[in-house]
Structure 1
Amino acid sequence: MNKKMKIGLCQLNVKAGRPEKNLQKMLELIEQAKSTQIDMIIFPEMAVGGYLVGDVWLEESWCDYLMECNSILQEASEGIILIYGNIFIDKSKRNTDGRFRKYNAAYIFQNKQPINHPVNSTLGIPNGVSFKSLLPNYRYFDDKRYFYPFIDLVQEMGVSIEKAYQPFKLSVDGKYYNIGLSICEDMWYEDYSRIYNKNRQIPYNPLGTLVRNGADFIVNISSSPWTFGKEQARDNRIQSLQKDLNSQFVPVYYVNACGVQNNGKNIITFDGGSTIYNQFGSQIFEYRAEDFQEQLITVDHSITLKDRGIHYHRRKPKLTQKYEAIIQGIRSFDEMMDWKPNYIIGLSGGVDSSLVATLVAHAVGSDRIIASNLPTEYNSAKTRSSAAKLVENLKINRYYELPISELVQENTKLLEKTGAIPSLAAENIQAKIRGTSILSNLAGMHNGVMTNNGNKLEIALGYATLYGDVNGAIAPIGDLTKTEVFQMARDINQQFGELIPPEVIPDENFTFTKDGIPPTAELKHNQLDPMKFGYHDALLVAFTDYQKKTPEDILRWYQKGEPFFCEKLGITPTLFEKYQLGDVKAFIADLEWFTKTIRKNIFKRIQSPPIVLVSKSAYGFDIRESQFVWTPSFAFQRLKKQILDNFGINGNITHV
């Protein structure tokens, strides 16, 4: 009697740009798998060199280095079936950019031999390798810049898609299996229309083709970055495939990378979430990988052929997942530095810097934080006290209060020799001294890096001083709105005890207590941040959503009255009233100010440090911006006139 095939899903923490580390870890896990009688071990997409390495993909020596790793892994496949992702380079052909042709590939070896494929020789590629067809070219993905799609190769060689997409056949203890091998985006086929059928485009379905060509099960290796709701999106893809195939559906092994990679402007987390789907398209959650954590999951293949009772995976709340993603992002950044830096944090006493310090402390420990409060005459006793209280709560041992008034005065005197200093420029002298003169020099003195403490709303509106606040090596909360900053600070205090001083956290209507500390730059007396917290955050979320909304959309929602507007934007009637959004002229003026201000501050964002990505559309390289001013479209002008005409003279909303 044949024994059951044992499969190992290796949710690897892939180190981008570090093949030697990835290779060593893979070899260790292969030996571990052999020792536990695992028959097949599966690693993620681009497991050898990492996925997000930028234009290093254009370096021939780098690609050759990764190709050399294949021979080492092939030797390691003695006594086991090995599946993993790596680049494949074909120097006999050229990409559309004129460089050697490269593919995002999956490799499959058994007993030191590549598995035979029935069509590879026809396509001019070796056995034991399969290429990715659907190349993502959105958000921060640039796959078409580097790789050639398998579907284009098939068409180039004059082979039908149905014939080309075949499973690999191999045996385990005398029993044969047809394995359908696919890579990441090939599972998201509904978004790709490539085949014409009776004058209409229909999606090309690689996984469905593999099943129809006899695959007993599907292996999908991925490097799929995390965003909130990504798990459900993946499950939805499998459910769509199951619906398409119906009774033909087969089990799916989804193996995803975990850890963190970056593209220079965004620090991007990979959650793992590796999942096994049985022959009915249902998740087998007993074997689901813990989010963000590297591990080897072992399962008997026979279990996927049974209709087991499903145990639903309890997904964590949105802010909890974002907290974990930021922690992973900081830890990965720390590892990438390769020299265990200290973290230089300017503590203003406000909620943003308090949250950043808390996140860094949770990620790498308080002993590696050097915190400074850099007051002038405009900094209140309350904010100084708040900063000191946070330091005590986090047990930060290196904390300095360094007044900068004398430096401000000397700089002012020097600059006045060239002419009068405008009030805003005079205020920003303080910020620039803090960032450039003090914090950057502390980093140089103490083997450290500066943190950027800006949140997404500040980054959008440019409410920060270039070479003052706009600096640093990492922006941990740069993809959190101010609303989320307050919420995360509140959640941290509930979970870990009162670490962040409660006076910097408002209630859910953004109202502070009498002794509270509303957000302020403290660059002049009685200064408060100009943002309408909650409302401006909601506008920003709409403007930066993956399905982006526009000022025209906001006006259309507003036209339909307060309830509809609040529902679409996701704000409460209380906030609508708090910010007097029923004043039509003021509402439109604020919308125009908000839109113009975001656009005119692109020059600051271009110079900003890398942001830990936690949303579906983050500043950095996720949102790509060119510098030009915003001007209202014809549609905006028409809508504005309609609204002003339709609402009463007093500017209050009437029935529409």
Structure 2
Amino acid sequence: MKIALAQINPTVGDFTGNTNRILEYAARAAEQGADLAVFPELAVCGYPPADFLEKSAFVARACEAIDEIAAWTANQPAGPGRPAILVGSVMPDHSPVGKRVRNVAVLLSAGKVAFVQQKKLLPFYDVFDEQRYFEPAASQSLTEIAGQPIAITVCEDAWNDKGFWPRQLYPDDPVDALMRQWQAQSAALDGHPRLILNISASPFNQGKPQVRQRMLAAIAERHNAFVLMVNQVGGNDGLVFDGSSLMLAPSGEVIARAACFAEDLVLVDVASSVPSAPAPCDDIAQVWRALVLGTRDYVRKCGFSKVLVGLSGGIDSALVAAIAVDALGADNVVGIGMPTEYSSLGSISDARRLAKNLGIRFELFPIHDIFAQFQKVLDPLFSGTPFGLAEENLQPRIRGTLLMALSNKFGALVLTTGNKSEMSVGYCTLYGDMVGALAVIGDVYKTRVYELSHYVNRGREIIPQSTLEKAPSAELRPGQRDTDSLPPYDVLDPILEAYVERYLSAEQIAEEQNVEVALVRSVLRLVEQSEYKRQQAAPVLKVTQKSFGTGRRFPIAVKVQV
């Protein structure tokens, strides 16, 4: 049996575009003689559709798209090269009780819906909130395609294997239940290899592709089955989907692997499967490609093509500009320098050199006079008070205003340049350097920023060496350094990772990191005091296990003991 793993990049709500993409890949699968073309979870409507699922017109449009795709299967010539299509979609639930919609895998063949497998396990953690929308399946069953029995699962339905996870989130394991059905029908199914198909929209974070592969390998080995997983690729808001679709043998060995962070079509033959899978890209390359893809899709799916980046001469803005150029092309990226009297000459020259290395347009707008005018206007109230945080924050707020004026005038999105370390402790200015449409590196700790910057320079110097070597500084007052207010980043970042992502206590972190508990508590207080800023921030591209945004939900008005 020949199966095409059709790894596509859908857009939420773009039924016409998604349907055309599905049919394009189905036609390519037909040309290669596929019996079945498999597409990702909710590929018809895009994932995650969120509260669009509450709109009856949205669900109805999904059903119309399913009919259109089904009609394609009827119009293909009979015989080899006329594949059935397995695709993820939303469908209405007509039961008198429960939620109104279902998350389903729909098998389309000979012009009709031949089989529907409803998703049973609805994730409710991190960025997922599927229990809010979908009715879980009461039961699931095997089906048959081209004479081959098949167990079909939808994403999370394969993520509850008791042999892999030390603690299961759900009492049921759909894969196990389907394999028990297989065992019960073993006499009738004798001679057929066990085949488990999983359609997914599994978002990326560091280490996730490796965990996903190990989990699927454990399922393959435990059930002595071929396992095929087709995963969505692309960015939708803050989520990035890596694709990395797989076919594994009953031994757990990877037979085939689709590209990571790119659309792909991979044809596999269960009857004559020979391992030929390329090795996955390494960890730092995965994060880079996730940030590039997430930036590209966010900008383009929002209907834009150009971006603005405030270039300070520092490493964060340099990295964001490099990501933007890789994502959109140099012609679509403009760097804006806005120095004050506290900006060093080296920072200005570094920004110029970066722009030249990237091949982007660079404009310099000194803001000394604007800053002086603001101070003059405020002098009747500020007179007699020392220069402090108010004056420091005026500078990024002036820059934010200018960037947004340019954005409005020329229709270019502003990319913010703050990293996860800064966002964690509030080392960022509301309505200033936080102004923008997308926080490209808002889930990248400062130490990781340096790693990615060295990755950028792997072939030639793009980010100036002087930028990599200079002490981090916001340059908002004379001689300022980040370490004036914060511990060194190689000390700070492990504390933040332990607290933000793993929710460890101050005592646990102090013991684990071998640092003073008083230092840890001072950092944690900054984290808790800055929640109001993070909830007003631009969407963050998620690349770690726990990013700021929908996957990490805390109240603002609290009194927390740390």
Query: Secondary structure of the residue that 2:120 maps to in structure 1?
Result: coil
Aligned to 2:101: 102
Q: Is 2:94 aligned against 1:91?
A: yes
2:118–2:140 contact (8 Å) kept in structure 1: no
After superposition, give the CA deviation of every residue in 1:197-255 in whole Å (9 maximum; x if it has no partner): xxx9985221122223227411111111112222221222233324543xxx2211111
Partner of 2:228: 253
1:644 maps to none
Cα distance in 2 for residues equivalent to 1:372 and 1:269? 27
- Residue 211 of structure 1 corresponds to which residue in structure 2? 179
State the shift of 1:549 in Å.
1.9
Structure 1 gaps, min length 5: 116-127, 155-163, 194-199, 507-516, 558-564, 567-580, 582-586, 634-656
Q: Secondary structure of the residue that 1:494 maps to in structure 2?
A: coil
Q: Following the alignment from structure 1 to structure 2, what is the Cα–Cα distance between the partners of residues 300 and 500?
A: 46
Give the one of 505, 514, 520 matched to 1:550.
505
For residues 130-158 of structure 1, the C-alpha deviation after alignment (integer angstroms, 9 at most, x for no partner) is: 101111111110000010111xxx2xxxx
Distance 1:481 1:221 in 2: 32
Q: Which AA in structure 1 matches 2:48?
A: L
In the alignment, the residues of structure 2 paired with residue 588 and residue 323 of structure 1 have an alpha-carbon distance, to the nearest angstrom, of 34
SS in 2 for 1:91: coil
Distance (whole Å) between structure 1 residues aligned to residue 413 and residue 329 of structure 2? 15
Q: Are 2:419 and 1:444 equivalent residues in the alignment?
A: no
Counterparts of residues 162-241 of structure 1 (less than 5 Å): 164-170=139-145, 172=146, 176-190=147-161, 203-214=171-182, 216-241=194-219
TM-aligned CA deviation for residue 44 of structure 1: 0.9
**Matching residue of 2:185:** none
Residues in 2 aligned to 1:321 and 1:238: alpha-carbon distance in whole angstroms:
20
Partners of 1:400 and 1:277 in 2: CA distance: 52
Structure 2 counterpart SS, 1:534: helix
Q: Which secondary structure does the structure 1 equivalent of 2:228 belong to?
A: strand
Contact 2:260–2:280 under 8 Å retained in 1:
no
Return the match for 2:545 from 616, 625, 633. 616
Deviation track 1:235-279 (CA, whole Å, cap 9, x = no partner) reads 22233324543xxx22111111111112xxxx2111111111123
Q: One-letter code of the match for 1:518?
A: A
- Whether the 8 Å CA contact 1:134–1:192 is kept in 2: the answer is no
**SS of residue matched to 1:93:** coil
Aligned partner (choices 365, 374, 378) of residue 415 of structure 1 = 378
Letter matched to residue 253 of structure 2: S
Q: Distance in 1 between the 2:478 and 2:218 partners?
A: 59
Give 1:536 shift. 0.2
| Change in 2 beyond 3 A, CA 1:338/1:178 | same
Over 3 Å counting, the alpha-carbon distance change for 1:46 and 1:201 in structure 2 is: closer
2:391 is matched with which residue: 410, 426, 433? Answer: 426
Q: Is the 8 A contact 2:246 2:257 kept in 1?
A: yes
| 3-state DSSP of counterpart to 1:597 | helix
What are the residue-to-residue correspondences of 1:463-502 with 2, within 5 Å?
A: 463-495=427-459, 497-502=460-465
Q: Say whether the 8 Å CA contact 2:85–2:109 is kept in structure 1.
A: yes
Alpha-carbon distance in structure 2 between the residues aligned to 1:64 and 1:243: 40
Q: Contact conserved, 1:600 with 1:628, CA < 8 A, in 2?
A: no
Structure 1 residue 326, shift from structure 2 partner: 0.4
Instruction: Please list the CA deviations of residues 266-323 of structure 1 after superposition, one character each: whole Å capped at 9, or x if unmatched.
Output: x211111111112333210xx310111112111222024xxx5x56753323221101
> Are positions 1:56 and 2:20 aligned together?
no
Residue of 237, 246, 251 corresponding to 1:280: 251
Q: Residue type matched to 1:261 in 2?
A: N
Q: Name 2:301's counterpart in structure 1.
A: 336
- Residue in structure 2 matching 1:46, options 22, 42, 49: 42
1:114 equivalent in structure 2: 113
Q: Find the structure with the greater CA-based Rg.
A: 1
What amino acid is aligned across from residue 90 of structure 1 in structure 2? D
Structure 1 ranges of 4+ moved more than 6 A: none
Give the letter for the 1:204 counterpart.
D
The residue matched to 1:344 in structure 2 has which SS?
strand
Alpha-carbon displacement from aligned partner over 1:576-621 (angstroms, at most 9, x marks no partner): xxxxx5xxxxx33322211111110111111100111111111111
In structure 2, relative to structure 1, the CA distance for the partners of 1:191 and 1:599 (3 Å cut) is: farther
Instruction: Supply the distance in 2 between the matched residues of 1:205 and 1:15 (Cα, whole angstroms).
Output: 30
Residue type of the alignment partner of 2:520: L
In 1, the alpha carbon distance for the partners of 2:260 and 2:230 equals 12
Question: Match of 2:497?
Answer: 541
CA RMSD between the two structures: 2.2
- Residue aligned with 1:451, SS: strand
Q: Distance in 2 between matches of 1:339 and 1:632?
A: 44
- Residues 595 and 630 of structure 1 are in contact (CA less than 8 Å); yes or no, is this contact kept in structure 2? no
Further displaced range: 326-335 or 363-372 = 363-372
CA apart distance, 1:15 = 1.6
For 1:635-646, what aligned pairs fall within 5 Å after superposition? none
Structure 2 CA distance, aligned partners of 1:113 and 1:56? 26
The 8 Å contact of residues 160 and 169 in structure 2, kept in 1 or not, is answered as no
State the secondary structure of the residue aligned to 1:51.
Answer: coil
Structure 1 residue 551: Cα displacement: 1.2
The amino acid that maps onto 2:112 is Q
Other-structure match for 1:197: none
The separation in 2 between residues aligned to 1:478 and 1:556, in whole angstroms, is: 27
Q: Does 1:525 align with 2:478?
A: yes
Q: 1:492 to 1:192 in 2, by over 3 A?
A: same
Give the CA deviation at 1:419.
4.4
Q: Aligned-pair distance for 1:555?
A: 3.3
Kindly indicate whether the alpha-carbon contact (under 8 Å) linking 1:211 and 1:217 is maintained by their aligned counterparts in 2. Answer: no
The structure-2 alpha-carbon separation of the partners of 1:253 and 1:312, relative to structure 1 and needing over 3 Å to count, comes to closer
Where structure 2 has 5 or more consecutive residues not aligned to the other structure, the ranges are 75-81, 183-188
State the Cα distance separating 1:32 from its structure 2 match: 2.6
Aligned residue pairs total 537
Normalised to the residue count of structure 1, the TM-score between the two structures is 0.78
Partner of 1:81: 84
Structure-2 residue corresponding to 1:299: 268
- Cα deviation for residue 165 of structure 1 reads 3.0
Is residue 24 from structure 1 mapped to residue 2 from structure 2 by the alignment? no
Superimposed CA distance per residue, residues 77-125 of structure 1 (whole angstroms, 9 cap, x where no aligned partner): 2243211110110234343xxxx5211101112212333xxxxxxxxxx
Secondary structure of the 1:37 match is: coil
How far apart, in 1, do the equivalents of 2:468 and 2:540 lie?
23
Say if 1:190 and 1:253 are closer, same or farther in 2 by CA, change over 3 A. closer
CA deviations 1:319-360 (Å, max 9, x no partner) are: 2110110000111012112232x2111111111111111111
- 1:142 paired with 2:129, answer yes
Aligned residue number for residue 319 of structure 1: 284
Paired residue type of 1:273: S
Q: 1:190 & 1:6 partners in 2: Cα distance? A: 27
Distance of 1:201 and 1:344 partners within structure 2 = 43
2:506–2:520 contact (8 Å) kept in structure 1: yes
Q: How far apart, CA to CA, are the structure 1 residues paired with 2:339 and 2:89? A: 52
Give percent identity, aligned residues only. 30
Secondary structure of the 1:296 match is strand
